[in-house]
Chain A
Amino acid sequence: MSDIRNSPFLFTVGAFVALFVTIQSLVFIAGAWKEGKRLGLSATIMRKALSGSAVFSVVPSIAILLAVLTLAGALGLPLPWIRLSVVGAITYELPAAETAAQAFGTTVKTSITDPTVFSAIAWAMSIGSVFAMILIIIFAKSIQSGIHKAQIKDTAWSGLLISAMFMGLISAFLGNALGGGLISILALLSSAAVMALFGLAIKKAGFKQLENFAMPVSMLSGMAVAALYALATGGVAS
């Protein structure tokens, strides 16, 4: 079977998903606009909210596009495009894809050309992210009406819990990278160093607008160092 990752069929599915998201956004904007007028909000304020948010979103959206690019080597273009158009974020999609790939004895470090593994990764990414949507259907109304507000009283602990969960995930993958040899350690250290520089620039020098680019640029730097190192050593490291 030819490579299904970049097949016209998958691009068509991607276009359908993009259309779905566009229509939903337009329907919600129209509904909110109508209700806003009924409440007496001026058209100027509402137009400002729309245009302000649109401008605000351009740079982070380019960062999301770069995340699509990082996944494209393993999974082709359409699947990362679809996943980052709905529900996803790179910090979820990549670990989800990798753990699924590993269950099938492979890794997203290589191009996923086996159709069965590719479909398994698509299933894993999709099923893994459905839980929040189910919770919203069941609980969003009651949360909005205040019933569940009490449950998150201890915000300090819930914030720490998220950090701890991520730290478990990160430590497993960092350990894995250390076991991956010199090139893998170089990529890790380079991206960490670039992220640390971004951190300094954002926190110490006040360049807040760099925030959105910190993650994708750090990732691309790590990847670029790996490619350059392989080139310099004649492709022995991969």
Chain B
Amino acid sequence: MSTGTTLTESQYDINIHRNGRLWMLAAILVTQGVPLAISLYFDVWPPFGTLLAGLVPTIIVFWPIAIIEVLTYTPMLGSGGTYLGFVTGNLSNLKVPAAISAMQQAGVEPSTKEGEIISTLAVGASSLVTNLVLVLGVVLMSYLLPVLESPALKPAFANLMPSLFGALGVVFISRNWKISVAPLVLMAGLFIAVPTLPVGILIPVGALVSIAVARLLYRKGMV
């Protein structure tokens, strides 16, 4: 039996891809089964055209990001870690750092057989902990529902979006302010002029503007 670190295909490698794909397929059925269950149980079916209109901005921004995430994280996480991590989510903020830190502590490298094992164990343990914390938290919070729904907290939840994007703005602007200026000025101007503009239509516009600016600056070697 080989105990080396090169990736020659073992029975585990063959099985992990077959089983991983089956689990991923099952996860797709489970995740898409949630809205289906809601629609079936409560007999509520959103009109397709309107749903599509609400979905297109998300697809335009997040599907290209998904391609880059798959290409970036898959080699880091290894096969088992990938099939599990992409189901349980929270990759950049939890699963990837957990896997990398575990591999460092064990003194093994990503893309080796040992790295594959340690990464899968780390992602698995991390998923279990998140699950446990969420279950306990949701049980506790279900007792706090009347507080969450109280009128005093309404303005807090009404300002959820500015609160997320204020914080996220600081992160991305400080990371690369040069590509931020043009889309920010454009959007601020548009919304101050016409406050009722639908965000959904402007997301792709903002994305195109920032990609164009980023490409230009990148080519000129300014970012």
B31 touches A64 (CB 8 A): no
Q: CB < 8 Å: which of B120, B135, B145, B167 contacts A214?
A: B167
Q: Chain A, 26-48, contact with B by CB distance < 8 Å: what is the 0/1 string? A: 11110111011011110001101
Identify the closest chain B residue to A132 (Cβ). B66
| Cross-chain contact A172 with B202 (CB below 8 angstroms) | yes
From residue 25 to 80 of chain A, which have CB atoms closer than 8 A to chain B? Answer: 25-29, 31-33, 35-36, 38-41, 45-46, 48-54, 56-58, 60-65, 68-74, 77-79
Contact of B163 with A223 in the complex, beta carbons under 8 Å = yes
Dominant SS among interface residues on chain B: helix
**A122 and B27 contacting across the interface, CB-CB below 8 Å:** no
Q: Which 4 residue pairs of A and B lie closest in terms of their CB atoms, listed nearest first?
A: A168-B207, A73-B157, A222-B163, A103-B54
A sample of 6 cross-chain residue pairs with beta-carbon separation below 8 angstroms, ordered by A number, consists of: A45-B118, A72-B145, A103-B55, A168-B211, A179-B195, A196-B174
Which of these, B154, B161, B179, B187, contacts A163 with CB under 8 Å?
A: B179
User: Chain A residues near B91 (CB, 8 Å)?
Assistant: 89
**Count: A-B pairs, CB below 8 Å:** 593
Answer whether A173 and B199 are a contact pair too, CB < 8 Å, given A117-B46, A140-B83, A188-B162: yes
Chain A residues positioned under 8 Å from B152 (CB to CB): 227, 231
Q: Which of A85, A124, A130, A218 contacts B166 (CB 8 A)?
A: A218
Known: A4-B42, A92-B62. Is A163-B175 also a contact (CB below 8 A)? yes
Name B202's closest neighbour in chain A (CB-CB). A172
B203 near A99: Cβ-Cβ < 8 Å: yes
Given contacts A99-B200, A220-B163, 4 further A-B contacts (CB under 8 A): A136-B24, A148-B71, A163-B172, A172-B205
Q: Taking A35-B12, A39-B117, A98-B161 as contacts, is the C-beta distance between A192 and B133 under 8 angstroms?
A: no
Task: Decide if A49 touches B46 in the complex (CB within 8 Å).
Answer: no
Query: Are B121 and A53 in contact, CB atoms less than 8 angstroms apart?
Result: yes
Q: Is the interface of A mostly helix, strand, loop or mixed?
A: helix
A210 at the interface (CB under 8 A from B): no
Q: Once bound together, how far apart are the Cα atoms of A179 and B18, in whole Å?
A: 51
Q: Does A137 contact B (CB under 8 A)?
A: yes
In the complex with contacts A85-B130, A128-B62, A179-B192, A133-B24 CB distance below 8 A: yes
Inter-chain CA distance A170–B67, complex, in Å, is 20
Which of A20, A31, A229 contacts B15, CB < 8 Å?
A31
Q: Are A167 and B39 in contact (CB under 8 A)?
A: no
Query: What are the residues of chain A within 8 A of B132 when measuring CB–CB?
Result: 61
Give the Cβ gap from A129 to chain B, nearest Cβ, in Å.
7
A167 x B183 contact (CB < 8 A)? yes
Alpha-carbon distance between A166 and B65 when the two chains are bound, in angstroms:
9
Report the separation of the CA atoms of residues A49 and B89 in the bound assembly, to the nearest whole angstrom.
20
Contact B130 A191 (CB under 8 A): no
Smallest distance from the beta carbon of A215 to chain B beta carbons, Å? 6
| Nearest-Cβ distance from residue B93 to partner chain A, whole angstroms | 6
Given contacts A49-B125, A86-B31, contact A31 B16 (CB under 8 A): yes
Tell me the smallest distance from the CB of B108 to a CB of chain A, in Å: 9
**73-119 of chain B: CB within 8 A of chain A:** 74-75, 78-80, 82-84, 86-94, 97-99, 101-102, 105-106, 111, 113-114, 116-118
A-chain residues with CB within 8 Å of residue B97 when the two chains form the complex: 56
- A79, B134: Cα distance in complex, Å: 12
CB neighbours (8 Å) of A22 from chain B are 128, 131
List residues of chain A with CB within 8 A of the CB of B210. 164-165, 167-168, 171
